[in-house]
Structure 1
Amino acid sequence: MGSCPGTSLDGLDICFAAFEKKERWNFQILQAETLPYPQKWEEKLRNSIHLSPEELLKLHSEYGFYLGQKVQEFITKNDLENIDLIASHGHTVFHQPHKKFTLQIGDGRAVKIATGLPVVYDFRSQDVLMGGNGAPLVPIGDELLFSGYDACLNLGGFSNISLRQNNQRIAFDIAPVNIVLNRLAQKFNKSFDENGDLARKGNINEDLLEKLNTLKFYSQPHPKSLGIEWCTESIFPLLENIETGNVMATFTEHIALQISDVINKNNLQNVLCTGGGTYNTFLTEKIKEKTGSKIMIPENEIINYKEALIFAFMGVLRMNNEINVLSSATGSSKDHSSGIVA
């Protein structure tokens, strides 16, 4: 079972899945649900980056028990049995791999106490200590569960992509998506821009678009990853004092340009597209317009729960002491089996 809170704070994804290895790994999603955060929890997590050390440690424990409680409620509600483990990603507060640290709160030991089940957690820290970006981690699942596609594109808080290049799986973050668009939608008293309708009504600000497209991150080689700190430093200041609808239209264009540039440069013919941003039809239309590729949008189950599914899979690999992080994707010194077992 995998639990994975989104960076855009749209809720807690819980996925109960079965995995079987014959000639290759197969999976089945048996039950899944997204639990929206109550307002108090959304505010706590959003403000976690500003807490004192003592307050943050308190929230780390408190959120771990909250996750455990929600998982236990999910198990009871669905009469689930024969659960081998819980894989819990936690909520990212800090992500600064160049300084050798990343922090996902939600203590896995608290999840174990609340559920009585083995828990694998803290999937990113080991990779960062080994010189990697600690992200993206999902490529191990793309490689072993979704290898029928040229690439897997995720449109979540950030967009990232994984693909095979020179006989190895590479992956990297492309650009912010919902972490910016949702924040802008809140100015219209909406939690997100449904179908991209708000952005569709706006006009592109060419000056802003150029400033966004020339940010240093986009010209850097992979592996590379993004965090909220980068948005606070490099993105949000650029968006001030411009009409919000036009900012949304411009930022959506920016996302589509950055993603299509990666797809076109790598000559990708069929791309699996998942994550909450997939429902932003204005964005996906723009990506399709700018590429000659087939952008494959799967059933809702995969769109919504692919990341939670793969973290569950990573937990299975970790319990078997098998590789679950690819150095070709993260930039760490070698492939490894990551995650703390409670």
Structure 2
Amino acid sequence: MIKSKYNVIGVMSGTSLDGIDLAHITFEIDRIWTFKIHNSETVSYTEDWKQKLSNLVNFDMEVLKKIDEDYTIYLSDVINDFLRKYQLHNIDAICSHGHTALHQPENNITYQIGNLPKISELTNHLVVCDYRTQDVKLNGQGAPLVPIGDRLLFSEYDYCINLGGFANISSELEHKRIAYDICPVNIVMNRFANALGYDFDKGGEIAKTGHINQNILNLLNDLDFYSVIPPKSLGLEWVDTFVFPILEASKLSEATILRTFIEHIAIQIANAIQTNSKVLFTGGGTYNDFLLERIKAQKVFELIVPSDEIVEYKEALIFGLLGVLKLRGEVNCLSTVTGADYNHSSGDIYYP
């Protein structure tokens, strides 16, 4: 589908379980790609869905497949509500990431629920989805996928960092796009805020009341993942295996765990960027003022936070672009980023 202008819906659900992000976007190509986000919103998960999604790694494949069917129906309902609410017609494609259930690229496994062919039938639209599976089959990490969008839409920055469930980074090095997951962020911090009865630590106010436990900080910073050369990516399984056991065995207060973990994040992010660079920060973690303060304290660089629309919906925006690139038969997955055998155009296309 080669055109100069595309009208799409980008859909993203991240590991932090904030909800389903939807954005109605127009992309236009005239030598370079430009975009406009017309409407956007996040649909929060019900407690039931939040509970299911937080335990996906613990279910066997038979249960996961049933959840996948249910989630595909649920996701279709959410998309249809969005289409109706904003009276959207003439949509070229719905470009959906789905929700990651399993991510073990070292075992050639990645599984995103909500990407069944039925989604196109239920929404009555062409759907592009399941961007990770092909990359893993090509010996890639299947992640991160956003860097192609960083290159095409946000090239004026030295680095693009997203602070979501995980922090991930993207940059150009010798005309190659390099990207990888840095460390966990909200997937850890939200858990300890939840233990105190909060959805998240607003502005880092709880963390501010804690103190840094140097021993725990050292254990976190010494985890093997941080010495691995990219490409590399993280999943909930890694956090369950290596991070939560350290934090929970410490028996420290939630405030001290949060304070220590924020310092850990700040150190790892500072290690990933160069002095005096220009860095774009997006994702829910950018609303944690204390976290940004601690990152800035580690190194001299220019920290840029864009409009709320881009902060919150950059991933939905870029998955929209990945879908457009797939429809055009163009590369949307970079081997320098994921470690795949070669650049490729990833994703499945379903017709109603």
- TM (norm. structure 1) is 0.98
Is residue 308 from structure 1 mapped to residue 333 from structure 2 by the alignment? no
Q: Aligned-residue CA RMSD in angstroms?
A: 0.9
Kindly indicate whether residue 45 of structure 2 is the aligned counterpart of residue 45 of structure 1: no
The whole-number CA distance in structure 1 between the counterparts of 2:23 and 2:270 is: 30
Distance 2:151 2:201 in 1: 32
Give 1:107 deviation, angstroms: 2.9
C-alpha distance in 1, partners of 2:335/2:56? 29
Partner SS state of residue 188, structure 1: coil
The corresponding residue for 1:335 is 343
* Displacement after TM superposition at 1:82 (Å): 1.4
Q: Which residue of 2 aligns with 1:82?
A: 90
> Is 1:261 matched up with 2:262?
no
Task: Find the aligned partners of 1:54 and 1:235 in 2 and give their Cα distance.
Answer: 28
What are the superposed Cα offsets for residues 150-203 of structure 1, whole Å, 9 maximum, x if unpaired?
110000000000001011110010000000000110111111110011111100
Instruction: Report the alpha carbon displacement of residue 256 of structure 1 after superposing the two structures with TM.
Output: 0.3
Tell me the CA shift for residue 268 of structure 1.
Answer: 5.5
What are the within-5 Å matches in structure 2 for residues 108-119 of structure 1? Answer: 108-119=116-127
Deviations 1:273-329 (A, max 9, x none): 000000011101111111211110000000000000000100000011100001111
**Distance in 1 (alpha carbons) for counterparts of 2:224 and 2:45:** 34
**Other-structure match for 1:124:** 132
CA distance in 2, matches of 1:111, 1:194: 35
* Contact 2:57/2:237, CA 8 A, preserved across alignment: no
Choose which of 237, 254, 279 in structure 2 pairs with 1:229: 237
Structure 2 unaligned regions, length at least 5: 1-8
2:123, 2:271 → 1: CA distance? Answer: 45
Q: Match for residue 274 of structure 1?
A: 282
Distance 2:193 2:19 in 1: 16
- Give the Cα separation in 1 of the matches to 2:265 and 2:118: 38
Q: Which residue of 2 aligns with 1:218?
A: 226
Deviations 1:191-220 (A, max 9, x none): 111001111110000000000001000011
Q: Out of 97, 100, 104, which is 1:96 matched to?
A: 104
Letter in 2 for 1:263: I
Q: Deviations over 1:21-51 (max 9, x none)?
A: 0010001101100011011111111122222
Q: Distance in 1 between matches of 2:194 and 2:161?
A: 26
Match of 1:147 in 2: 155
Mapped contact 1:108–1:119 kept (Cα < 8 A): no
Q: Which runs of 4+ in 1 moved over 3 A?
A: none
- Does the 8 Å CA contact 1:163/1:171 hold for their aligned counterparts? yes
Shift of 1:95: 0.6
Tell me which residue corresponds to 2:255. Answer: 245
Q: CA offsets per residue over residues 254-273 of structure 1, 9 Å max, x none?
A: 00000011113xx4611000
Equivalents in 2 of 1:47, 1:208: separation in Å?
A: 26
Match of 2:72 among 64, 70, 74: 64
Q: 1:108 Cα shift?
A: 3.6
Say if 2:215 is the partner of 1:207. yes
The residue aligned with 2:4 is none
Code of the residue aligned with 2:264 in structure 1: it is: H
Question: Which residue identity does 2:340 align to in structure 1?
Answer: S
CA distance in 2, matches of 1:136, 1:314: 12
Kindly provide the amino acid, as one letter, of the partner of residue 271 in structure 1.
V
8 A contact 1:150–1:268 mirrored in 2:
no
1:326 aligns to what?
334
Q: Which amino acid aligns with 1:304?
A: E
Q: Aligned letter for 1:99? A: N
- Supply the distance in 1 between the matched residues of 2:330 and 2:264 (Cα, whole angstroms): 38
The answer to whether the 8 A contact 2:56-2:102 is kept is: no
Determine which of 10, 22, 26 is the counterpart of 2:30: 22
The whole-number CA distance in structure 2 between the counterparts of 1:111 and 1:289 is 46
Between Structure 1 and Structure 2, how many residues are aligned?
Answer: 340
Aligned to 1:292: 300
Q: What runs of 5+ residues in structure 1 fail to find an aligned partner? A: none
Deviates more, 1:37-46 or 1:270-279: 37-46
Per the TM alignment, residue 141 of structure 1 is displaced from its structure 2 partner at its CA by 0.2
